Structures are given as C-alpha cells and as structure tokens.
Chains A and B, each alone.
Chain A
Amino acid sequence: MLIAFYRILRFAGQNFWRNIWLSLVTVTILTLSLISVSALSIISTLSNEALSRLEEKINISVYLKPTLKLAEIDSFKKQIEALPDLKSVNLINADEALKSFKERYQNNPLIAESLLAIGSNPLGSSLTIKVSSDQGYQKILDELESDKFKAYIQEARFDDYRRVISTVNDLTGKLKRIGYGVSLVFVLIALLVVFNTIRLNIYTHREEIGIMRLVGATSWFIRAPLMVESIFYAALATAICALIFYPALSALQPYVSSFFDGFDFNLINYYNERWFIFWPALFVGCSLLSILASTVAMRKYLKI
C-alpha cells in the first residue's frame, strides 16, 4: 500500500515536470482564482466590519443644562429609560465629559488655556441614547422635543449615520458583485485550464497508460496520479496565494486603519485568528474544482 502510494506520487510528480509550462499555467490560473476569492473575502470582511461599527455609532446625544442638580439629572434619566424601544441609555456626567474633552484636545494649547481662563467646568452632563430599531429614533427625538423635557435639555443631537451606512452598503455591494463576477470568470477559466492540462497529460502519457492497461494495472492506479496531480496544483496555488495574501494585507492595513479611524481593526489579526478555517477552505475548494475538471477529462479521454 505504501509502495503504491509512493509510486503514485512519483508518477504524479513526473506528470507535473514533463509538462512544466502547462503545469505553471494551471497553477497560475488556480492562484488567480484563489486571489480573487480572497479579495472577495477581504471586501466582505471590511464591509461587514464597517457597517457594524457605523451602526454602533448611531445614537442620540442629549446635552443637559449645566445648571441641573444631580437629583434632577437622575429623574430625567429615569424618565428617558421609561420610553419604549430603547437599547441603552448612558450617562456621562460633567466631570467625565471634561476629562475626555481635555484628553481629546491635550495637544491644543489654546483650548487648554481657555479652559483655565473659564475656571469652572463649562460642560454639562450628557445622555447617549441608543434605540433598538431603526425607526425608533424619530419617536425618541419627537419625545425629547416635548415640553416636559424642556427644562432639562440644552441640546439634543442625532448622530445619523444611516446615509453613510447606505452609501457604504451600496459601494461594498458593488465591489462584492464585481468580486463575484471576477471570481466566477476565473473559476470557469480554471476549470477549462485544468481540464485541458489533464487531457494533455493523458495524451502525453497515452503510451504509458496503454502499457499500464495491457499489463493489468487497475484503473485506480492509472487515475490516482492524475488525481494527485490535480490536488498538487491546488496545494501549490493555495501556497502561492498565501505568499501574496499576507503582504497584501500589510499593504492594505494603513488604509484600513485610517478608514476605521479611532477603532482599532487589524486585518492581519483578523485573518490570523481564522487561518485554520480560511486556508483549508480555500485549499479544499480549489482541490474540488481541480478534481472536478480532471474527473471530467478522465471520463472523456481515459478509456478504461
């Protein structure tokens, strides 16, 4: 059994080397297919990430009058919390607001100076409200406009990222569609190329295959090297794809960082955490594609 395995590997290796140019073309096209599928994966990772971060950002900030007493703030918060459809209500008190303000502008001497000049804390407390449904925001905003809250609120601001989200959605949707199209084209070409490579290998080895059949080699023994060869193409293509993939991620990371301004999202980490799903999936997918094409070629051209 082991010796048969070794011989099959050797025959497969010979197939690979004897038509080296053809083998290279095959590996190249498989690699291109894998790269386009990987790119598709990156696009959808980024878009999912961006969308969920943007959704996270949608909120209503309610700035309270700085003159309010603590008890008043508390009662206001309770009233807000009683409203329907809320996801969360966060209180940022005046001290915290000042602290984060200072932190944000710590490099700006002018602001630091002005703060000193004012002396006391000019900022009031604020509430950040998140609503569980998209439609809920307008209701809350209407509610906040009503008279019973007038005494508390200095300003209510709705940070509406829904326009941005739909823009991002449109853009990534388009990119994904292009990605699917390109991948599909590459996969189809790859199918044809692998089919043709195996066909040519059968042709190159027709004498050998003929002899094998005459001396009683099983059809399994004749097919196995071609199968192994197809899997070998897939393995090589996956390896090359990986060699291109990680440098590409590194090159992409600065743009990703600036896009995800403030959040730290690291593409390389993202894929490193998932390599044991990502790469086997690519390899198995690529192998299946390659085996499918070579099986069809064998059906057609290997008369055994």
Chain B
Amino acid sequence: MPLIEFRNVSKYYPGNIVAVKDITLIIEEGEFVSIVGQSGTGKTTLVRLLIAEEPLSEGRILVAGWDITNIHTNEVPILRKQIGVVFQDFKLLPTKTVFENVAFALEVSNADKNRIQSIVPQLLKIVGLQEKAERFPHELSGGEQQRVVIARALAHRPKILVADEPTGNLDSINTKEIVELLKKINEFGTTVILVTHNKDTVNELKRRVIMIDQGRVQSDHQKGRYLLK
C-alpha cells in the first residue's frame, strides 16, 4: 500500500482558476520527493490538498490507505498528526521561546508535562538547537528559526514531513543546512516532500523530482534534476 496516493486530483478555485489538474501520483513510504515548478503552477495547492486544508474538486487522495477525499472536520486533527508541515514563512510564536514553540504542538493535543519534557529536547537535538532552547525567535537566524519550525513539525512523530519552500527566505548556506536536516530526517524513516524553487538543491539531492506545470505533472524522474525548459 502506497503511503500517499493522488488519483486524478483536480482543484478549481472560483473564477475558472485551475490550480491543479488531473494529477495522479504515488509516493511510497521512506521516499524523499522534490516538487518543482514555476510560480503559480499549483505546488502549494497540492500540499494544501494533502493536509486537508482545502477540499478537492475532483479525484481522490489516500494517505496510508485512508481515503481523505471527503474527510470530516473532526478527523482532520488525526491526519495532521501524521503529516508534519513546514511553510516558507516561519510562523513561530514570537512571545514563546524555542522550547515553548516546539512544546506548543504537544500542548495543544493533550500531551502531559513529562512527555513534553522528554520529547522536546530530543527534537531540538535532531535539529541541532538544544543549546538555544531558551532563546526567543528574534534571537535566532532565519535558518535556525526554520529548524525550530521543523522540530515542531516533527513533534507528533509524523510519517510524512511536507516542506513548502522551507528555504525560500534563506541564503545558500542556511539552505544547505536545512536540506541536510531534511535528508537526516528522511534517513530516520520519515517520508519527506520538499517543494522548492531552488535548482541547486534539487540537483544535489539526486532524488525523485516531480515537475509540475500549469497544475499538471510534467515529468517525474526517480533520480531527477531540475530541468529548466
């Protein structure tokens, strides 16, 4: 059973906007998949469909065999615990420390104090920020902030980590670090989906690359490169 399956998925927005058109995709457990494509071709839409942030217009989406096409609002939190999400704009809470920001993900789903005290340091260690647990977001570099977001996305030990342009606001050194971190997370067994604009990143990864163009899959290569038309 594939971990993620898109079957003829389309998404239309009001006003005849076709964001995603007839996409069929299978992503297996443990894969590291890059999704590339020009701006406005539907990459973020694809992510939002996967995490049930938007309803789809046509087709079906299955996550580990679970048909989330018509997922009920009450079930969305269950899905979100299986999919960690990282977006380009960091979205850390400015009034909380690094530790508290990561702990927040656990707090809002009834984790008790002991579990929080044991899990958060582990997560911070994975992203290499255990020394900076008591800092506030504005005392961190962009790359460090994004690493906190990744730690938070991992709080529920999700099977899937989706990162939508996590390096969009970062310089090349920080970008490399983030990509290395994602590779490490992938090696631990988490399936990683990386949406990116960055050609170098994709070329260095030498992993599967799905190119989206105007809402459709244009190419899907197992050891791909970011080929520009």
Instruction: Select which of A207, A208, A215, A304 is within 8 A of B109 by beta carbon.
Output: A215
Q: Indicate if the CB atoms of B77 and A216 lie closer than 8 Å.
A: yes
Query: Is A118 in the interface zone, CB < 8 Å from B?
Result: no
Residues of A within 8 A of B26 (CB): none
Q: Indicate if the CB atoms of B107 and A207 lie closer than 8 Å.
A: no
Asked whether A215 and B112 contact (CB < 8 A) given A207-B91, A207-B93, A304-B73, the answer is no
Binds B, one of A58-66, A107-115, A217-225: A217-225
Query: Is A178 in the interface zone, CB < 8 Å from B?
Result: no
Please give the distance in Å from B89's CB to the nearest CB on chain A. Answer: 10
Among A7, A216, A218, which residue has the most Cβ atoms of chain B within 10 A? A216
Query: Is A247 in the interface zone, CB < 8 Å from B?
Result: no
Docked complex: B137-184 residues within 8 A CB-CB of A: 152-153, 155-156
Residues of A within 8 A of B73 (CB): 219, 304
Q: Which chain B residue shows the least CB distance to A209? A: B108
Q: Indicate if the CB atoms of A211 and B93 lie closer than 8 Å.
A: yes
Please give the distance in Å from A268's CB to the nearest CB on chain B. Answer: 47
Query: Is B105 in the interface zone, CB < 8 Å from A?
Result: yes
Bound: A212/B113 CA distance, A: 18
Q: Indicate if the CB atoms of A218 and B113 lie closer than 8 Å.
A: no
Q: Indicate if the CB atoms of A215 and B93 lie closer than 8 Å.
A: no
Q: Indicate if the CB atoms of B93 and A217 lie closer than 8 Å.
A: no
Residues of B within 8 A of A1 (CB): 110
Q: Indicate if the CB atoms of B78 and A215 lie closer than 8 Å.
A: no
Q: Which chain B residue shows the least CB distance to A304? A: B73
Bound: A7/B74 CA distance, A: 20
Instruction: Select which of A207, A208, A215 is within 8 A of B80 by beta carbon.
Output: A215
Please give the distance in Å from B22's CB to the nearest CB on chain A. Answer: 27
Bound: A85/B68 CA distance, A: 79
Q: Which chain A residue shows the least CB distance to B116? A: A3
Docked complex: B97-147 residues within 8 A CB-CB of A: 104-105, 107-110, 112-113
Residues of B within 8 A of A207 (CB): 91, 93
Query: Is B225 in the interface zone, CB < 8 Å from A?
Result: no
Docked complex: A211-251 residues within 8 A CB-CB of B: 211-219, 221-222
Q: Which chain A residue shows the least CB distance to B111? A: A3
Q: Indicate if the CB atoms of B85 and A217 lie closer than 8 Å.
A: no
Q: Indicate if the CB atoms of A211 and B91 lie closer than 8 Å.
A: yes
Q: Indicate if the CB atoms of B91 and A213 lie closer than 8 Å.
A: no
Please give the distance in Å from A181's CB to the nearest CB on chain B. Answer: 41
Asked whether A211 and B104 contact (CB < 8 A) given A216-B156, A217-B109, the answer is yes
Among A3, A208, A214, A215, which residue has the most Cβ atoms of chain B within 10 A? A215
Query: Is A4 in the interface zone, CB < 8 Å from B?
Result: yes
Query: Is A210 in the interface zone, CB < 8 Å from B?
Result: yes
Docked complex: A179-218 residues within 8 A CB-CB of B: 207-208, 210-218
Bound: A282/B74 CA distance, A: 34
Q: Indicate if the CB atoms of B81 and A216 lie closer than 8 Å.
A: yes
Please give the distance in Å from B130's CB to the nearest CB on chain A. Answer: 20
Q: Indicate if the CB atoms of A214 and B112 lie closer than 8 Å.
A: no
Q: Indicate if the CB atoms of B78 and A216 lie closer than 8 Å.
A: yes
Please give the distance in Å from B191's CB to the nearest CB on chain A. Answer: 17
Q: Indicate if the CB atoms of A221 and B109 lie closer than 8 Å.
A: yes
Q: Indicate if the CB atoms of A3 and B113 lie closer than 8 Å.
A: yes
Please give the distance in Å from B186's CB to the nearest CB on chain A. Answer: 20
Interface pairs (18), CB distance under 8 Å: A1-B110, A3-B110, A3-B113, A211-B93, A211-B152, A212-B104, A212-B108, A215-B105, A215-B109, A215-B152, A215-B155, A216-B77, A216-B78, A216-B80, A216-B108, A218-B74, A221-B109, A304-B73
Q: Give 3 nearest A-B pairs by CB, closest first.
A: A216-B80, A217-B108, A215-B105
